[in-house]
Each structure stands twice: as structure tokens, then as C-alpha cells.
Amino acid sequence: MNLITISGPPSSGKTAVIIKTAETLMKRGVKIGAVKFDCLHTDDDVAYEKAGIPIKKGLSGQLCPDHYFVSNIEAVLEWGLKEGFDLLVSESAGLCNRCSPYVKEIKAVCVIDNLSGINTPKKIGPMLRMADIVVITKGDIVSQAEREVFAARVHAVNPTAIVMNINGLTGQGAYELSTMFIDSEQHVKTLKGKKLRFSMPSALCSYCLGETRIGESYQLGNVRKMNLEENSNA
Amino acid sequence: MHSKEQLLLKSPLELLEKYPYLEAFFTNQAVNMMADESMTLKQIMIQMDESGAEDTAFDATHFLDQLHDFIGQMQEFSGVNSQVVEVLTILPGTDKSGQPEGFVELNFKKSTITSIVGPTGSGKSRLLADIEWVAQADTPTSRTILVNNTKPSTDWRYASGKKLVAQLSQNMNFVMDLTVREFLELHAGSRMIANASIIVDKIIDAANDLAGEKFKADTPITSLSGGQSRALMIADTAMLSSSPVVLIDEIENAGIDRKKALEILTGEEKIVLMATHDPILALMADQRIVIKNGGIHKVLQTSEAEKSMLIKLEEADRRIQQLRTKLRSGESIVDDFFP
Ligand SMILES: Nc1nc2c(ncn2[C@@H]2O[C@H](COP(=O)(O)OP(=O)(O)OP(=O)(O)O)[C@@H](O)[C@H]2O)c(=O)[nH]1
Ligand SMILES: [Mg+2]
Ligand SMILES: [Zn+2]
Ligand SMILES: [Zn+2]
């Protein structure tokens, strides 16, 4: 089985791109399953089901969805193997701009859209910087110049990635993307021992875990204080 | 070109002097590379390691790899212009029913226009996708695309600054909050054009020449009228886009001089492809391809008879425009249209 991790800011077009790409693969007889990691709520499972793609969803609640991803992907992988999929696609909402659900040796795709503003590529960090493929969506509604400027910004953040423009509505470009989803050499049987491409913040504070009360005594874990003495403009 | 080891011994400032385009790369890093100008990359990396790169999501090895690749790509990118796309060729594949397409070899030369006709959903997007992806008999149509009569480099597929096709369609809008001049400067900057202001002025002039109503350089792009936006997009794509092929999806017949628009594009040596249902536009092209059932059904050269037909159609069009003007100014329409 092949495994692919897809991440990207909310509403960037991940589900649209995955479904269009999966459709071209399914036409060629590839058996696909998907999993969606999100925080509080998602209707993506409905969209996948409608497209005939078996789907599992996981809501991380108060945790960062990417942390949740790491602790659950093994089990999801086992489900995929049991179902006999040729390809398992993991979609995660990139809510935490500090983390990314990418695993070494497992193909990593970042979906980002032309409408999100030219400073977004810089802001979203490892999710973009560590991806193998960057998919840029919503090119159908902005000008050619804006597409070129946006692509140049993406390139400056991640010069090594393959950058593809895909229209999530019409599926233009999805066939081409699909050819990179399947690697006949890859047989992922377990993720045990594999490493994340980039460490997730190691120190979690009590607020990460749902604490809402303010005050010194509630601040557990790794808590840092601002230095208000120094006048910093940095 | 420096090796990775050599890069490590330089300071960001030294690198910036040698490769000015690195500014975009450095400013896009999570770390301020210019904090101490005397430090070499190696020293900066060591320091990052000690002060917890975790916080800023900085990965030193990855950074060095990307820096090295970025310089390599940019050097190639600035030299790419040397390879002009003179001609793009399509070798036939099959339509949706597996029938072979109706041509032997289809050429699109630079500075020429090809119109694409056929019902919606007949396979225009697939054709465009085949060109963008420089298909090598490896897409559903099995078409093959050649660039300058040879099998093209895979860079056209995978390199981000190197895309074969620029696209202009009616649903595209400007979304950035910038003036016309700022916007064009930003676009020129992303292509590392040295004398941006010259080309920016040229684009504004050309766009104003196309648009019915003139606009100024300090107009916000989002407040341009439909015709003005289209005019600016066309002039910008003609002069600043890096892509040799321009696909136009219908040019509306209002607020813009369509003939001049096409002249600007061909004047900049673009290969123009134009999907249209409008007979005037279709006949302005040098050749037209008819798409049916997912395949190219026919290729027609615009004949002499069609060219004289075009002159008559343009005359009829001009007269309809006059009727519009009359209507607008409150005059009545008398039957002197068909003499
Ligand atoms: N115009 C246009 N709309 C698109 C494109 N791709 C996606 N969309 C639309 O953008 C919206 C969000 O798309 P989704 O695929 O749900 O985005 P997502 O990234 O999966 O969203 P979350 O999973 O909720 O974070 C939908 O309304 C899509 O129809 C595109 O290329 N062009
Ligand atoms: Mg989704
Ligand atoms: Zn996180
Ligand atoms: Zn926290």
C-alpha cells in the first residue's frame, strides 16, 4: 500500500484536490481509502463518501491536529492494510502553523490557495517548507500575474518541491498529480521506527491541554515569559 | 556555483552580494539571517542549534540543501530565456472512444494565433492540460507534445518558475490590494527583471491603448472596470509572463479592442491559443482546431474566403457598436442597417 500525507491551511482545497485526483485513479482500478484529521468539526467525510471513498475521521479536540495525527496514524494504517487499499490518503487541517504531519520517506503534499495572500507561504512554515509536492489551487479566479507572483513566493520558501497548479472545481491538473501518487516500489507496512520530517514542539504547556484559567499556579509545563525590560522592535 | 561546503563559509551578506535574488529566499526564512552580518552560515547554524531551533522551525541541513538548490535553479532560470520556444507540436492521440485524432502533426508557431472551437465539455481543458504537462503519450489522450521539434525537458513539468502556459479567462479577477504600478513592480520583481520601471510604463501604456476608458498608474487594481482589468491582464501577460504559450478563454466584446489585444500578444512572440464561439475572433486566427468527443477532430487553415468574410463581419460589428452608442444616447434606431 502507498501512503500519502496531505496538509494545508483550512479551506485551501485539500478535499477537492484529493477527490478529483482519486477519481482519476479509481478509473484506473486503484483502490483508495482516506482519513481526515481535524480539530473540532469536519464534513469532509460526507464528501469522501459521496465520491465512493471509504473514510475515517479523527477529531483532535483540544490537541493540535498534527500531534493527534502522529498518535493515530499507525492505527489508521492498519485499517488501510486490512481493507486492502492500494493507496491511503491522509488529509490534515493545517491549523497549527508550527507543526506538519510529514513523515520521512512518505510522500508529503501541501495544498495552498492563490487567494490566501502572498505572505501566506512564508507564514505557514514546515507544512510548506518540508513538502515534496506543493499544489496551488484557485488559479481560476485570480490573474496570471498573481499566480506567477504567488508561485514565486512558494518557490522561495521551498525551492526543492514540485509545484503544480490544480483547479479543485474542474479537476484540471488532477490526472497529472495522480501520476505522482502511486509508486509501485512503495509498500508501507508499518510506520514504526520512521521519523517525522520535522519535530513538533516538544514542550507543551497547560494551555495546550485545555487549561483556561489565568494565573501562575495554572501554568504547567514549559512556560516562557516575555522580557518587558528590553525594548525590542524585532 | 558554490558547493554546499563553500556556502557554509560565507556570510548571508556576502552571498547576497553575489546572488542578489537570495533576498527573497532569506526573507522567507523563519530566522533573521541578517541579525549579525559578520557571521558565516555555519556560525549562524551552530547558534540556531544552541538557542533551540525548535521554536522557529529551522532545520539547518534542510536549509542548506534548499539554499543550494535555489541558487542552482535561479542561475538556470535567468539563463532560460536563451531557449525561446519557436514552435510547439502536438502528435495525435485518441478521442474518448479511442478513435485516432484527425490530423498528422499540429504546429503552433510563435507569434501565431490558433482558435479552438467545439462544444463545452468537448475536451478543451484536456488539450490545455496536455500542453501544460508536455504530455508524452502518458495522459488519457495519449498525445505527445514536442518543444522546438524535440522531446522537451521535464523541467516544463516540475520546475515552478517554468510553466508553458499562461491563462486568461473571463472569471479571473485581481485580488491584491495594490495600485497598478505597485502590482506590476511586484510581478517584475518576482521575475527578477532589472529595469522594472521601463517595462511597467510600457505595460500601462499598452493596457490604456486597449481599454476604452483610460486609467492611471496609481489606480488600485481592484477598482479597475471589467474592460480595464482585462486590458491590463493581457498587456501584463504579453510582456511579463514567463510562459511562451497564452491561452485565452473568449475575450468579451466590450470595453476592449480585441484585435489590438491579439496583436500585443503576437508582437511579444507568444503562441496564442484562443477558445471561442465568436466568428470574428475565430477568423482572426491563422488556423483553427475543432474539438469533438475529447479529441481534435479537424484542423483548418483560415482561408482567403474566410479572411474576406472577416472584413465583412468586422464591418457589421462596427455598425452594431454604433447602434449601441445611439441607444445609449437616447436616439431612435432607424432601419438603415441593411441597405
Ligand atoms: N474557484 C475554485 N474553488 C475551489 C478550488 N479548489 C477548491 N475550491 C473550493 O474551495 C472550498 C474549500 O475546498 P475544500 O476542498 O473543502 O478545502 P479543504 O482544504 O479540504 O478544507 P478543510 O478540510 O475544511 O480545511 C470549496 O468550496 C471548494 O469548492 C479551485 O481550484 N477553484
Ligand atoms: Mg477538507
Ligand atoms: Zn501543532
Ligand atoms: Zn501551549
Structural domains in chain A, CATH included, are: 2-178 (3.40.50.300)
For residue A141, the ligand 1 atom closest to its alpha carbon is 1
Q: What confidence score (pLDDT) does residue B53 get?
A: 56
Q: What Cα–Cα distance (Å) separates residue B288 from each residue in A57, B65, B263, B284?
A: 49, 47, 17, 10
If you count them, how many residues does chain B have? 339
The binding-site residues of ligand 1, defined as CB within 6 angstroms of any ligand atom, are A 8, 10-16, 44, 93, 137-138, 140-141, 167-169
**Whose Cα sits closest to atom 5 in ligand 1?**
A168
Helix, strand, coil abundance in chain B, percent, nearest 5? 45, 15, 40
The SS3 of residue B294 is coil
A contacts of B233 (beta carbons < 8 Å): 143-145
Contact B176 A118 (CB under 8 A): yes
Query: Which residue's CA is minimally distant from atom 2 of ligand 1?
Result: A138
For domain B87-302, give the CATH superfamily: P-loop containing nucleotide triphosphate hydrolases (3.40.50.300)
Record: contact A122-B28, CB cut-off 8 A:
yes
pLDDT digit string (tens) for A109-152? 999 999 999 989 988 888 999 999 999 999 999 999 999 999 99
Q: Grid coordinates standing for B63? A: 536549509
B187 and A121: CB-CB below 8 Å?
no
Q: Which amino acid is at B176?
A: M
Residue of B nearest to A98 (CA): B57
Q: Tell me whether residues A159 and B69 touch, CB distance under 8 A.
A: yes
- Judged by a CB distance cut-off of 8 A, whether residue B104 touches chain A is no
pLDDT in tens, A20-75: 999 999 999 999 999 999 888 899 999 999 999 999 999 887 777 888 888 889 89
A residues 135..164 contacting B (CB < 8 A): 139-146, 148-149, 151-163
pLDDT tens digits, residue range B39-81? 888 888 887 776 665 556 677 788 888 888 888 777 766 654 4
- Sorted by sequence, the CB contacts under 8 Å of residue A87 that are 6+ apart come out as A1, A2, A3, A4, A25, A30, A31, A32, A33, A181, A182
The confidence score (pLDDT) of residue A231 equals: 54
- Of A214 and B110, which is predicted with more confidence? B110
Q: Where in chain B is CATH 3.40.50.300?
A: 87-302
CA distance B89 to B127: 12
CB contact, 8 Å: B208 with chain A? no
pLDDT at A234: 43
Predicted pLDDT of residue B261:
95
Distances (CA, A) of B100 to B16, B118, B146, B289: 54, 17, 19, 15
* Residue A46 contacts B where some CB pair is shorter than 8 Å: no
The stretches of B38-140 forming alpha helices (DSSP H) are 41-50, 60-80, 124-132
Cβ within 8 Å, pair A145-B59: no
**Residue of A144, A198, A202 lying closest to B167 (CB–CB):** A144
Distance A113 CA to ligand 1 centre (A): 9
In A, which residues are within 8 Å of B240 by CB distance? 145, 148
Does B120 contact chain A (CB < 8 Å)? no
pTM value is 0.84
CB B181 within 8 A of CB B218: yes
User: Beta strands A32-38 and B165-169: pairing type?
Assistant: unpaired
